[in-house]
Structure 1
Amino acid sequence: MWSDTHVPATLKIDGNQYTIALAFRGNVIRKHKKKSYRIVFQKPNIVNGAHEIHLNAEFNDPSLSRNKLSLDFFHQIGVKAPSSKHVLLYINGTCNGIYLELESFDQYLLQKRNWADGPIIYATNYYANFSLVTPENKLKSRLNDGYTIKYGTKSDLAHLEQFIVMINTAKNEEFSEKISNFLDIDQYLKWLAGVVCTQNFDGFIHNYALYRDRDLNRYEITPWDYDGTWGRDLHGNHLDHDFIPVTGYNTLTGRLLHFQDFKKKYRKIMTDILENDFSVDHLKETISAHLQSIIPYLHLDPYITLNEEKMRKEEEFIFQFIQKRNKYLKENLIVVQ
């Protein structure tokens, strides 16, 4: 179950048949009976604009929807993010349950969305904290620890290393002058607000990808794997609404929010999002409609014990989280001054 080796398979979607390569994906989920999968199209090589898709089991999420709700929320606030939709997966004629189909953030997605070409680097473990040291405060053996090239070359990884060096060694005046040469600051602060609102504990040092638009030569950051959000952690356990501070954390964020101009930008972005996007009034209809669309299929999933009553309780749990989180963030924005 820990192998990443692909095996040949056939995939049928709405009556159409495709030759694919199939592998397990994820980490914690591999210990459960309901696995997650990575699918790479072989014949044809591209299907609906994608060369690769992911099928996430969402096994520990009692709503099966936190990942999708999060990615949709990032879309809403203006942050690039993969699209997703729920599907029923059958393996050799037997229903394997409800899965979340996710776009792969890769060069094919750039083409599909008409975004500029550029390297994509995944944060593949929690060493991807924009720092010279690990979260355990030990010196990293390599500057690019925690990062893996999804699309690009070794020179793109070297560029990222230069960025990390600048973040950690530049004096304040130099940092403020150079940071906009490396980073789309407004986009980063919108992403930061999205992580803070949805409260993804791993989102600041993991669960993201870096995309560098070759035309502008600046990094944008995009979310990935957001099942541990909206009041629960990645194991499905309750996470208090005030667990993550309004400023979030990682070395890059810490340096940015040292400067008054960037603090002011972040405060305005967060204030606008709390007023116009991250509220029960704004999100209730969309969330309710989405969860309602899943309920008729719950009984087909052999790995879960969800029913309509439990889903309704989880829906209310999410609304309560949004309400409490919104209030907490508004009250604590005073520190961003």
Structure 2
Amino acid sequence: MQKNTIPTLSISAQPELIEFLEKNIWHEELIPAKLVINNHPFDIGITYRGNHTRKLRKKSYKIDFGTYNEEFFGREVHFNAEYCDPSLIRNKLSFDFFKQIGSLSPDCRHVFIEVNGRPSGVYLQLESVDDLFLQKRQLSNGPIYYATNHQTNFSLLTTKGEPKSSLIAGYFRKLGDSEDDFDLEKLIIKINTIPRNEFGKEIIKYLDVKKYFIWLCGVICTQNYDAFIQNYALYRNGETGLYEMIPWDFDATFGRDWNGRVMKFNRVPIEGFNTLTARLLDVKEFRVQYRILLEEILENYFTVSEFEPRITNLYNLLRPYIALDPYKKDAIELFDKEPAFILQFILQRNHYLRNQLNDLV
């Protein structure tokens, strides 16, 4: 494969099964299919993935190979349509940024997908956060939960202020057992009930605070409004026993929301807004720790000079494929404007956050 190209994946399945999926977008069971890349065929199971994205014209897919596949760095792989992101690069920019600042983050790459001979367009191939994710990084085994809806706000109440039906409502257990559910409930109870004067010394028994702040810095910089209440993975490190955050679904970033609409650079405050973040930043030593981390990231990593070559490279890589994407080919003009739009957001967001650092005294 040449350096300036992306892989083409050819997926084939019985037409009636594809038609069944199209008519039953919430069907979770995999249908049998075949995937071919570089003339290498693989037997797979495939279905749609996501929540509101299933209602969009261009659907996202989940693919399961049954066993570990080195070519696709996983057993289960997600293919995100990135339909609402006119640049198609925000997720990848975000995940690469998280890695750079020291946070756990899924591997990803862009691919071009064809289904039964018809182009489906440019997708982002995304590593699943599961047992293989941990093994590849030589991390100890531990439970993993996906935060799938806005009830996962680390509060006893929903975002509407109503008591939750379950403290772990909205969490999908990817790895672990029912005993781990009890442990997660305990974490949420502790977050909400530890007395203010004891919170700093008690929460470190349950949460890796520094890693949480690194994740928080990534969320604050990229301005993912949704990440405070959903769209993350939660991992309890088997060695330390402490919970860590992993970013997930970061297409609504860099100045656009989940519908692709413009979001002003000052929409999310420097303090964030979920219960856990508020309680952590209520502790002065934690607040200072967060400020130091964020200041370093704003100085060295979240800058136009750092992002410009990455954005340019991704733009040049994807540009030839946009005309082949049936869902994006009519929006090439907007795609062409996105690099400048993202860089302007980074400049404005960086300046805004630097001016807000004094609020963390």
Query: Whole-Å Cα distance in 2 between the matches of residues 312 and 280 of structure 1?
Result: 18
Query: Whole-Å Cα distance in 1 between the matches of residues 312 and 275 of structure 2?
Result: 37
Confirm or deny that 1:270 pairs with 2:294. yes
8 Å contact kept, 1:20–1:41: yes
Q: Deviations over 1:229-269 (max 9, x none)?
A: 00000110000000000011110000000011000000000
Q: Deviations over 1:208-240 (max 9, x none)?
A: 011111111111101000110000001100000
8 Å contact kept, 2:323–2:332: no
In the other structure, the counterpart of 2:115 is 91
Confirm or deny that 1:61 pairs with 2:80. no
Confirm or deny that 1:129 pairs with 2:153. yes
CA RMSD of aligned residues (A): 1.2
In the other structure, the counterpart of 2:28 is 4
In the other structure, the counterpart of 2:50 is 26
8 Å contact kept, 2:142–2:236: yes
Residue 83 (structure 1) shift: 1.0
Q: Deviations over 1:85-105 (max 9, x none)?
A: 000101112211111000000
Query: Whole-Å Cα distance in 1 between the matches of residues 330 and 297 of structure 2?
Result: 32
In the other structure, the counterpart of 2:254 is 230
User: Can you give the 5+ residue segments of structure 2 that lack an aligned partner in the other structure?
Assistant: 1-24
SS at match of 1:181: coil
In the other structure, the counterpart of 1:304 is 328
In the other structure, the counterpart of 2:359 is 335
SS at match of 2:123: strand
After superposing the two structures, state which structure 1 stretch, 60-69 or 5-14, moved more.
5-14
8 Å contact kept, 1:62–1:306: no
In the other structure, the counterpart of 1:51 is 75
Confirm or deny that 1:202 pairs with 2:229. no
Give the paired residue count. Answer: 335
User: Can you give the 5+ residue segments of structure 1 that lack an aligned partner in the other structure?
Assistant: none
Residue 35 (structure 1) shift: 0.7
In the other structure, the counterpart of 2:270 is 246
8 Å contact kept, 1:107–1:151: yes
After superposing the two structures, state which structure 1 stretch, 52-61 or 139-148, moved more.
139-148
SS at match of 1:51: strand
Runs of 4+ in 1 over 6 A off after TM superposition: none
Confirm or deny that 1:279 pairs with 2:303. yes
Confirm or deny that 1:193 pairs with 2:231. no
Percent of residue pairs identical = 45
